Amino acid sequence: MTIKVCKPTFEHHRETLGIGESSPRVSWRFEADAETKNWTQTSYEIEITSSSAGGHNLFKVDSNESVLVPWPTTPLRSRECTSVRVRVSGSDGVPTAWSDPAVVETGLLHRGDWIAKMVAAEPVLSTSGSLRPTMFRQTFDLDTENQKVAFARLYITSYGIYEAAVNGKRVGDHLLSPGWTSYKHRLCYQTFDVTELLQNGDNRIAVTVAEGWYCGRLGFNGGQRFIYGDRLAVLAQIEIQYRDGGATTIGSDESWTCNSSGPLISSELYDGEICDTRVKNWNEDTGATSSVVQVLDFPPADLVVSEGPPIRKTQTVQPQDIFRSPSRKVIVDFGQNLVGYVRLRTPGSSSRMIVLTHTEALEHGEVATRPLRDCKATDTLILGDGPIEWQPRFTFHGFRYVQIDGWPSSTGEPTSEDLEAIVIHTDMEPTGGFECSDPNVNKLFENIKWSMRGNFVGIPTDCPQRDERLGWTGDIQAFSPTANFLYGTSGMLSTWLKDLALEQIRDFNGVVPQVIPNVIDAKLNSPQAVWGDAAITTPWDLFLDFGDKTILENQYQSMVEWWFSIPKSPETGLWDSTKHQLGDWLDPAAPPTSPADGRTDPHFVANAYLVHVTELLQRISTVLNRAEEAKKFAATLPRLRSIFQDNYITPSGRLAPDTMTSLSLALIFNLFSTPEHVEKARGRLARLARASRFKIGTGFVGTPIILQALSSGVDKKYKQIAYRMLLEKKCPSWLYPITMGATTMWERWDSMLPNGDINPGSMTSFNHYALGSIGKWLTGYVGGIDILNPDPDDALESTGWRSIKVAPVLGGTVEHASTWHLSPYGKVSCEWMLDIEAKLLKMTVAIPPNSKGTIELPGKPKEEVVNVGSGTWNFVVEGYDETQEWPPKPIIDPFTLPEADE
């Protein structure tokens, strides 16, 4: 028996240099060999070694907890560095080997730790009205021969997005730092180890700042500039610690110099970057003209450390084809819709201008720029005489295709050796995977992952390409269960939720803005169900997946204030029906120009969610031991549910409105009063699916839950209906985009029409993750692993994947599936293989140490569940015979001929 304790982690940080917590909670995962079964931790030991004080401190605790356990000693001070390792014991009392040590170092925990000043330059506008990127620098002298450097740190942030260099070498590998937060409330700073970049004698720190989210144009309908300010500025502090105990600090102040006349003429998130390589880089030209900086007030916002990882380059994609369009334009196809930018190499041609235009799709053989709306998405490079390798520094695009204009004719046309696409996103830990025997479903799952990565660039956005790229709350409300399975989202999303709470409470009197950070007109931020409900559902989803009730505590005021800010009818307590609702946004039946005009009454959607979030608040209050609040919500819930039933459900159990979305909501949110009504509703949902010829009839609200609503019932034929909808290829369906060559999830079911034309609506993105919320059903039902539904009275016992449900739902033509998830305890997996002819089902399940599983074997009664502890478990079901009629038949009128696959 072998149990390995993995390297400890702290809070929700993936990286631990410069964290913002003085008493960081500690977690560790486990690995075990296949023979180790039913292992549970009974105690743990944490050894802490301080780099400053020296010596080892050992703390032993009798506990089975291994996720977010309390820091066992005195709080860390600013800049303090410690090494932490862990070992544990099981019921036999024998300790494991020590884990590998993890080094954790705090940043500047107090405002008084900063001696640096925020320094700015006089703003210089480009011809487009944007701020021209500004360069800041300072020189300093070090005698490292006589005073050896032990270590050096750079603490830095900016108004705008920055890139720093020390002695001409880039600092770190972060992109678009400091990221996007609600800048008037919170401004993130970063910590870098610059020890190896220092040299004896003259040293130079140089920082380039571009407008980014702070000053740049944001929003649709022309957007706004200078939302947070109109000055590019930097706050930087280098702290050097010497081996003899001495120290030197260099902080940005009035002695720094600046220049706005470098090679970067403009750099905008929407419109791209213009670079003139003929201009020498001022940061590398010590004799160039410079200006004095202006000292600004110290940032009034809280200076904080993000718990989420930074944005980074994560992948390189090579061109798949380079061709001429019908108009003879040179177009590069990278074969994948991605988010990032293009790196190019060219021998140079003096004063030649290369323009790269980025689009997601082609229309009639040309790059399709109309979906970009008021977004140029172009990068421009003005060439000098010599060869050059270039990439933009302060922008990104969503694209698959790039049109190249102005390539030097002396070199011929560009080749695949001259170009590559750089993929960027928040560098989260991959934590989930899925594959099955159907290649189209596998492609669907890959598309979901690509769309998530492309829309997790600092914050969770709707789309990465047009004049938007905003943190829409409704999108993440739908997608967070899928996101939390696929990647380690806890740090990024909990950071984003803090901004949601601040803007909601301080700026909008409890109403949740539709985008976070909010940059749209206040009149557009009227209370909206689903979107505003993200204040409650998203923290709950994080709690379920990561087991951290502190997230609930941090967001509790936000949740309650949102609930009380909902405009309710004084007679019913339901939503005020005079207030506009977005409803089941982008129902495929909605007109292209009116995406809110779907089939389901928007106020039905709002009220279903009101009942749901009221129940969640009762459960959250219980988890947090807020007995009085739990009692109040518990008293409100049955009354609201009863009024909902009086308004929308007939005595016989018929639901009005009668749509796929309404039925799915009522089933998943437990809105019916009797089991008979539940099964009647499920049957009605199945009938609507058959009547639609298994095409999807839901938008943002119904899509995440419709297949779950069908496949959660007792009647097995409904599961086949779910599979039939999954495997449908005609529009609208999940697989239709794949038949059209999609490599990401689309905003609309028909973003591209069957004839290849792009949807005429003004909102037509080819990279939107919301409709990819089916990912949770693929991993939880087809793949078969999920969190065991938490006990309402003891949610902490099963959250965070401590208690695991393994219950694959078989159906359709899928004969094999495997899925895995890296939980807070370790790797969970399930693989099943069905031999239809032999009526034999084989299934292998892995449960990590210190957790347990409840296994429902397909083909066996639900009462015959198998409860197991950790380990690898193999099951065989002989005589498996649950196949139902396949494919299910649609309901078609007698005057319509069936199609080939019906």
pLDDT digits (tens, 9 = 90+) for 89-113: 999 999 999 999 999 999 999 999 9
Polymer length of the chain: 902
Sign of CA dihedral 521, 526, 531, 532: positive
Report the C-alpha gap between 883 and 879 in whole angstroms.
Answer: 11
Residue 150: helix, strand or coil by DSSP? strand
349-360 average pLDDT score: 91
> What average pLDDT score do residues 714-737 get?
95
Long-range contacts, 650-656 (Cβ 8 Å, 24+) = 653/677, 653/680, 653/681, 654/680, 654/684, 655/681, 655/684
Query: In 17-68, where do the E strands start and end?
Result: 17-19, 26-27, 30-32, 43-50, 56-61
Q: What is the mean pLDDT of the chain?
A: 95
Q: Cα 511 to the chain's mean position, in Å?
A: 23
Instruction: Residue 376: count other Cβ atoms within 10 Å of its Cβ.
Output: 18
Q: Mind listing the domains of the chain with CATH numbers?
A: 3-106 (2.60.40.10), 114-304 (2.60.120.260), 311-426 (2.60.120.260), 795-878 (2.60.420.10)
pLDDT-derived band of residue 792, with 50, 70 and 90 as boundaries?
low
Which of 364, 345, 376, 60 is closest to 223 using CA atoms? 376
Average pLDDT over residues 447-474: 98
> What's the pLDDT band for 900 if we cut at 50, 70, 90?
low
> Coil, strand or helix: which one is 465?
coil
Residue 641 has phi, psi (to 5 degrees) of: -65, -40
In this prediction, residue 798 carries a pLDDT of 73
Query: 517: cis peptide before it, omega within 30°?
Result: yes
Which pLDDT band, with edges at 50, 70 and 90, does 56 fall under? confident
User: What's the confidence (pLDDT) of residue 47?
Assistant: 98
Q: Is the pLDDT of residue 350 over 90?
A: no
pLDDT at 370: 96
Does residue 651 sit in helix, strand or coil? coil
234 sits in the region (left: phi over 0; alpha: psi -120 to 50; else beta) called: beta
Q: Please name every residue paired with 354 in a beta bridge, in sequence order, or none if there are none.
A: 381
Minimum mean pLDDT among 32-36, 54-58, 391-395, 585-589: which range?
54-58
The rounded Cα 776 to chain-centroid distance in angstroms is: 14
The 10 Å Cβ neighbour count of residue 624 is 15
Residue whose structure tokens are 């800048």: 183
Mean pLDDT of 387-396: 96
Contacts of 576 (CB under 8 A, 6+ apart): 567, 568, 569
Whether 420 has a pLDDT exceeding 80, the answer reads yes
Give the pLDDT band (50/70/90) at residue 885.
confident
Q: pLDDT grade, residue 794 (50/70/90)?
A: low
**226, 219 in Cβ contact below 8 A?**
no
Q: Are 753 and 732 in contact (CB under 8 A)?
A: no
Does this model's pTM top 0.95? yes
Average pLDDT over residues 774-797: 87
Looking at residue 898, its pLDDT comes to 72
pLDDT at 165 over 80: yes
Read off the amino acid at residue 202.
Answer: D
pLDDT band at 285 (very low <50, low <70, confident <90, very high): low
Q: Where are the beta strands (DSSP E) in 160-232?
A: 161-166, 169-170, 186-188, 190-193, 201-210
